[in-house]
Structure 1
Amino acid sequence: MDVASIRLSVFIAVLCICALIEALKPKRPLTQPKGFRWLNNLGLTGVNSVILMITMPLLAVEAALWAEQNQIGLLYWLSVPLPIATAVAVIALDCAIYWQHRLFHTLPALWNLHKVHHADQDIDVTTGARFHPIEIWLSMWIKIGIVIALGVPPVAVIIFEVVLNASAMFNHSNMRLPLLVDRMLRKWIVTPDMHRVHHSTIRQETDSNYGFCLSIWDRLFGSYIEQPKLGHQGMNIGIGVFREPQEQRIDKMLTQPFRKN
């Protein structure tokens, strides 16, 4: 089974599991028609996959294979054993994604792209796959640069992409976890309750809890907010613009970075 098949299989499996738990034990009532949102959010994911396939000369795994063949990158230069290099690389990539996410909130041009993700007025498993194609494209180049500079082993790239994919769907899901379970999990990983704060319409909360997998980065770098000010049931999801129902269509999402409202 190739890397693309592995990623797709994990994507479908985690999507189905999270969707089932959401349906059985939802955290919040959804405010938008679920079928309409799913069609457009997942449709945008399909558009992104096609664009990457057409426009990217190589992906992160191919970059890792090239670095391995040419022994380029810090971990190869230091002759770090593969098991240690793999663990270090996965953790380093997760930290890099944290800072990349924070950067997309800080620079106005990048925020214009990233706000497509935040313009979803509900948050569920499909929100974790809702990103503008240009953001996906830029993110892939950033990832490729890090993979080559660090000398990330190909196996570490595969592990990281699978974990990142699964984490994004899990922590965006609308599932209701018992408070004790959430409290225990969030010591190590980003939980749905932790990440939901990040999708608040209150900008201070939007600019917090950037992590995707490991929760340590937000605590370490001072961007952690434990709970939303209005509570999980009272908080509003989304951003101040693009509140009309038609803004959830693919065509509208594609043009949102270039419009103010």
Structure 2
Amino acid sequence: MNQPSRKVMRFTAWSAIIGGVLAYANAGLSFAVTGPDADMVLHGASMLALPPDTRELFRWCMVADTLGFYLPFVVIGGYFVHAFQEELGALASMVAMAVALYVMVGLTGAVMQFATLHPLAHLYAGGDDATRNAAAAVWTAVANGTQNGLWWIEGPLVFFWTLIAADVLKKAGWKGSFLLKIVGWAFAVFFLFGFFPDLEALSNYSEMVVVLVLPLWMLLFGGQLLRRARTLPNRFQGAGATNKATLSRRLSTKDQI
């Protein structure tokens, strides 16, 4: 196992913890917008007719989605691949690619919905029937493309890297690896049931499992990483400290000469 510096460990830990909190905030904001009818997001007329304050809540929901479920995994994935490169071997590059693709498709979907909701709502509010129908159709296409396209394809990507990460972390003595396996299998079920419209309810349940369990793992992982950073030997405090110590020794040697 490669030992990252204390600063890197703390940065990764806080990225995971803050990301977990924001991921739960995303779930809360989503419920505040749609209530129990999460499928409302897929219907253009319903979304574009929302009051401005509610639409703004949905936009904040997408911000929390971006900062909770996606961007933290740039840091977490980078830390994991670096720290366990020896254990992963050739799988390290595969895991890095899977995490990167997961982040890319997730961010694309969230940003598209964030950017298009207000402009389409303004067209819907001030246009004639043809304009309103067109605006509603565009939002329906964007939302379905995101929910049933970009976010759907996350399934096999997350299934791949979570099962590998869970096994490696468990062998290294990390707690909560079973949560990652639950997330991976839930994503796989979500992806599989996406092929069958009649199983939409089961697909929604599996998505709910992901939304609840993945942030929990992030919080647990971040907490463990913070504790490990506190007990890290001083020689791993950071590259800056190491370079200063090396420079000091060299200057001392020159003075003695």
**TM-score interval, smaller chain:** under 0.3
Larger helix fraction of residues:
2
TM-score norm. by structure 2 comes to: 0.27
